[in-house]
Amino acid sequence: MSKRIVIDPVTRIEGHAKISIFLDESGQVSDAEFHVVEFRGFEKFCEGRPFSEMPGITPRICGICPVSHLLASARAGDAIMAVDIPPAADKLRRLMNLGQMVQSHALSFFHLSAPDFLLGWDTPPQKRNVFGLIAANTDLARAGIRLRQFGQEIIEILGGRKIHPAWAVPGGVRSPLTEEGRNRIRAWLPEAFATTHTALDLFKQVLDKHRREVQIFGNFPSLFMGLVEPDGTWEHHGGKIRFTDSSGSVIADQLDPLKYDEYIGEAVQSNSYLKSPYYLPLGVPDGMYRVGPLARLNVAEQMGTPKADTEFRLFKRMGHGAVTSSFLYHYARLIEILTSLERIEAYMGDPELSSEYLRADAGINSLRGVGVSEAPRGTLFHDYTVDRQGLLRKVNLIVATGQNNLAMNQTVAQIARHYVRGNEIPEPVLNRIEHGIRCYDPCLSCSTHAVGQMPMLVRLIDAGGRVVREIARG
């Protein structure tokens, strides 16, 4: 009799989701699906609002990476006003985005994922969390928490608050970097660098122990998408879109992010609120692509900063062509923290960040505006259509987690196939399946727009839809 196993909700991710594992007659895994069961509705209820309010509204989608929505939204506003923003404003937005990269990646690595691979997959769930990490390695946990704080402080120094700053606006930003802020960031940088190097060394050590995870945690061919500079350097705010395939070949380059609908299609699944974007010319399933740290490093030819480039070359050696294992998202995340810190350091010597010329002014010059920015989890698109008065008529948000949807399904199926045999699913196996999702650091509240709870429910459902077994956790 075929069966279905449901993991609901998935824990230590941002948001609420469940996983279904389908077993065939012989108890082998036939398929697996990752469902997002939240619905937020931002695209709908923003209709009718002035576009200038969107950088205030859309960051409310998420408390983890509000900055990404803030910046993408402000950029969409720039496009509607058809202005080039003052250079200082562009640099300041970039600085905030780098702070965001550091804090979000530190959260993903130290708080959410490290307990699995540092404490061990088979550690009891009561200890396999950030508190367990604090007990096992207090210095590392504290350093990780402080690294996240550093990123948050940058956001606060610029935007006045850590979460939901309404600082970037259509046309630029509201305020410059103060001298006091500059000094605080400068003073904290050495510690942030040290923590990042420690984490990198540690991760490379545990990588040897986790060869199996590297092999089976989402290791499959797919396309990769991310922003790059004209010369192929890693980019996070600005630049053009590049797609590469799993052999590492560039299949499309310097695509205009504003014309995303010419190369990205959105498939809708009946079992999830999350849409599944794909590379349009190849269709589903061949057009499946991944975004986020792993993808950005795969599409980039260099990081553009010396320390990160050294790590980048080691990273590139881990794949033939592209690095295809989603477990290495973690490594890519650390390298991105490193380049972010180097870039932040460079900005600290730039007097332009104290400029008072920060905001371009204009009316409605284009009835459509698309804003693109690399969020920690991947490329984020905000697409607004307005009327002559600047009131929104249509809003389309293409969020990083959505773009990884097809890849997350495949990752879950790959891990389940490897570990699940029949009805028995021990807890550590459930955790491995969940970790397959955690690699992507998905933000479900972002991608569907609700709050999650932590307990986990696994259901075995037979072909007739009867629950034959239920395991509750938490």
Q: Which of 194, 346, 391, 451 binds other proteins (CB under 8 A)?
A: 391
Among 226, 292, 378, 390, binds other proteins (CB under 8 A): 390
Identify whether the C-beta of residue 332 lies closer than 8 Å to the C-beta of residue 294.
yes
- What would the x/- binding string for other proteins be over residues 448 to 467, using CB under 8 A? --------------------
> Shortest distance, CB of residue 449 to other proteins, whole angstroms?
14
Segment 199-202 long-range contacts (CB within 8 Å, at least 24 positions apart): 199/109, 199/110, 199/140, 199/144, 199/334, 199/337, 200/311, 200/334, 200/335, 200/338, 202/118, 202/140
What are the two backbone dihedrals, phi and then psi, of residue 402, each rounded to the nearest 5 degrees? -60, -40
Closest to 154 measured CA to CA, from 200, 187, 110: 187
Structure tokens that stand for 140 in this block = 């590392």
Q: How far apart are CA 75 and CA 240, in angstroms?
A: 14
* Per CB under 8 A, 123 contacts other proteins: no
Evaluated on CA atoms 291, 295, 299, 303, the torsion sign reads positive
To other proteins, the closest distance from the beta carbon of 390 in angstroms equals 6
**Number of chain positions touching other proteins (CB under 8 A):** 19
Q: How far apart are alpha carbons 166 and 209 in whole angstroms?
A: 44
Task: In angstroms, give the least distance from the CB of 53 to other proteins.
Answer: 6
Q: How far is the CB of 368 from other proteins (least distance, A)?
A: 17
**Burial of 202 by CB count in 10 Å (0-12 exposed, 13-18 middle, 19+ buried)?**
middle
Tokens of 421: 């045999």
Exactly one of 53, 156, 261, 427 binds other proteins (CB under 8 A); which one? 53
Q: Which is nearer to other proteins, 66 or 226 (CB)?
A: 66
Tokens standing for residue 295: 């993808």
Amino acid at 87: P
Residue 60 engages other proteins in binding (rule: CB under 8 A)? yes
CB of 393 to other proteins, least distance (A): 12
Tally Cβ neighbours within 10 Å of residue 190. Answer: 11
Taking residues 160 to 199 in sequence order and writing x for each that binds other proteins by CB under 8 A, - otherwise, the string is ----x-x--xxx--x-------------------------
Question: Which of 1, 26, 50, 468 is the binder for other proteins (CB under 8 A)?
Answer: 50
Length of the chain in terms of residues written:
474
**Segment contacting other proteins by CB under 8 A, of 46-54, 86-94, 136-144, 321-329:** 46-54
361 part of the interface to other proteins, by CB under 8 A: yes
Shortest reach from residue 74's CB to other proteins, in Å: 9
Helix, strand, coil proportions of the chain in percent (round to 5)? 45, 20, 30
Give dist(CA 99, CA 93) in Å, integer: 10
Closer residue to other proteins (CB): 270 or 389: 389
Among 126, 270, 306, 389, binds other proteins (CB under 8 A): 389
Q: Which stretch binds other proteins (CB under 8 A): 45-53, 188-196, 326-334, 425-433?
A: 45-53
- Of 22-30, 183-191, 263-271, 389-397, the window that binds other proteins (rule: CB under 8 A) is 389-397
Closer to other proteins at the Cβ: 49 or 473? 49
| Residue ranges that bind other proteins, judged by CB under 8 A | 48-50, 52-53, 55-57, 60, 164, 166, 169-171, 174, 361, 389-391
